[in-house]
A and B are shown apart, each in its own frame.
Chain A
Amino acid sequence: METVSREEFLICAISRLLCTPDICHVAVGAASPIPGAAALLAQATDNPQLRVSIIHGDTNNPFTDGGRELFDCAGQGRIDAFFLGGVQIDGAANINLVGLGKYPETTRRFPGSFGSAYMYFTVPNVFLFAHEHSARVLVPRVDFISAPGSSPDDVARKGGPKYLVSNLAIMEFDRAKKLFRLLSVAPGHSVEEVVEKTGFEIEIAPDVSTTSEPEVEQLELLKRKVAPSLARTYPAFTLRVFGINA
């Protein structure tokens, strides 16, 4: 078998989490090639009814009512899953997309909060995605809360964090306890390593397992079916990871 890239591993892992009856409509926001590929793969794998809406670009983008429609659609409860990243993510699932240091005098500035402060409240299954599993990304307390992980009772909220997926681990957020629980660890890594590289306290699931490697069928579908479709939204990513031109 060919070597599996880090991106392929993540795409396949996220894709499996999306294959659940609770999720009928996945939306994918800005700058999210891995989640976008994962959603398309979930659709191609065994779920042709799964609706996948990628908001940027003209491919897999069903919206016809302008930039606001994604948010209105989420507010109406029509979107079941969405992805958010984080320059920092903390143990309470607060995410920071703005910058490091004390705002507004940040020491390093990142793009900004995008739609996170709304989507996190309206989409029931938000997948947090960390490009790097380290104590500098997974911090005790974010420097700026773009979107909070939970809300007091007097703030209407149907949505929130479901999973945190990184190159090392898959964790589930327990909304009652307000903490992450480690579900599985990437092959070749240990629970101890994950705990050490996570800058906040986590719970370890009693049945913590090893994250499954991509299946041959998944990889084949990914290259044959998903990549050509993804290339029209993320040409640079698709060229780099799959060697496919748009």
Chain B
Amino acid sequence: MINSSIDNLISQIDDGALIALPAEYSFVPMDVVRGLIAAQAKDLHLLCVPIGGLATDMLIGARCIETLEAAAVSLGEAGAAPRFSEVVVNGEINMLDATCPAIHSSLQASEKGVPFMPLGGVIGSDLVVHRKDWQVIDDPLGKGNGRILLLPAIKPDFALFHAPLADRDGNVWVGKRRELFTMAHASAHSLVTVERIQNECLLDDDLYAAGTIPSMYITAIAEAKNGAWPLGLAGSYGRDNAAIAEYARAAKTQTGFEAWMQTHLAGKLKCDAGVGA
């Protein structure tokens, strides 16, 4: 559905769903994350593609996550992800540690419709010991490669991301952020927020078409100005480093996190009105 609302996107995500979110160098749908928190989503299985940041930490702090699969979770230059660090030590979520290319490969398996994908390296890492769903086999084709790791396909219920631009036909432009293509291909549904919806079809212009996810992969699109705030949207706006640093300080405690979330939502309204970031 084109021109849906964020509330409508959120309402499609049932408790317990497997959702995939991009890393902070890509296009993170912070308005949707805020919406999930406001709707008190529960027991979500979050797949970070492949690393988590502010969005992941906020969803953890708001008790929305039951299982987390990630190669790492960090706030980048703002330091450790405070809610993640505490909750994992306390054993309050089911943590599936991975490594970046393993997550990409598992999504590529779904993208190709095959049940698993081999990946080089990794053997000898304790990740393999703890990931009961991963399996090491002898090279079945006898190519002299030795043992190799197999990773199960991951098929998210929902790929969630923000993008600069969509069109009235439901095509979404993400440019070179091609991990979003992989996420959309691999997932049952893609729920997308965009800065802007244009009338002209993106596929009519080859310069745009190459970076456009066709509507066949997209379930719903909602317009969301500054929808990645306080994270940036490359080519559109930068990160609000002050807001992120403030979060990193406040969220060191659960109480601080909860207080920050309230002001934070108000801060977003200010930002939308063009006052803030």
Residues of A at the B interface (CB closer than 8 Å) are 30-31, 55-58, 63-69, 71, 75, 97-99, 103-122, 144-148, 151-157, 234-237
Contacts and interface: CB of A to CB of B under 8 A. Distances in A.
Contact of B126 (A71, A107, A146, A151): A146
B99 A30 contact: no
Interface string B221-257: 0000000000000110000010000000000000000
Interface stretch (B36-44, B153-161, B175-183, B197-205): B175-183
A154 B98 CA distance: 22
Contacts of B104: 66-68, 71
Given A67-B104, A68-B104, A104-B130, A112 B121 contact: no
B55 interface: no
Interface in B76-115: 76-78, 80-81, 84-85, 88-89, 91, 95, 97-102, 104-105, 108
Interface of B: 22-23, 25-26, 49-51, 70-74, 76-78, 80-81, 84-85, 88-89, 91, 95, 97-102, 104-105, 108, 119-127, 130, 145-148, 176-182, 234-235, 241
Contacts of B181: 66
Contacts of A98: 97, 126
Contacts of B81: 111
15 contacts: A56-B76, A57-B25, A67-B25, A109-B85, A111-B51, A111-B74, A112-B71, A112-B98, A115-B50, A117-B127, A118-B101, A118-B102, A118-B122, A147-B124, A154-B147
A112 B179 contact: no
Nearest to B108: A68
Nearest to A101: B89
- Chain B interface mostly helix, strand, loop or mixed? mixed
Nearest to B26: A67
A62 B11 CA distance: 38
Contacts of A114: 51, 71-72, 99-100
Given A103-B130, A120-B121, A144-B126, A112 B72 contact: yes
B88 to A, nearest CB: 5
Contacts of A148: 124-125
A107 B74 CA distance: 18
A107 B91 CA distance: 11
Contacts of A152: 124
Contact of A66 (B99, B126, B178): B178
A157 B99 contact: no
Given A118-B122, A235-B241, A67 B179 contact: yes
A196 B216 CA distance: 62
A145 B126 contact: yes
Given A56-B25, A103-B130, A118 B121 contact: yes
Contacts of A121: 120-122
Most chain A CB atoms below 10 A, which of B25, B91, B181: B25
Contacts of A65: 176, 178
Contacts of A58: 234-235
A154 B136 CA distance: 12
A31 B100 contact: no
Contact of A67 (B49, B97, B122, B234): B49
A113 B95 CA distance: 13
A181 B10 CA distance: 56
B100 A118 contact: yes
B146 A155 contact: yes
A118 B175 CA distance: 27
A97 B121 contact: no
Contacts of A112: 51, 70-74, 97-98
Nearest to A106: B89
A66 B241 contact: no
Given A117-B127, A122-B120, 16 more contacts: A30-B74, A31-B76, A66-B181, A67-B179, A75-B120, A105-B89, A106-B89, A109-B84, A110-B80, A112-B70, A114-B99, A114-B100, A115-B71, A117-B125, A118-B122, A121-B122
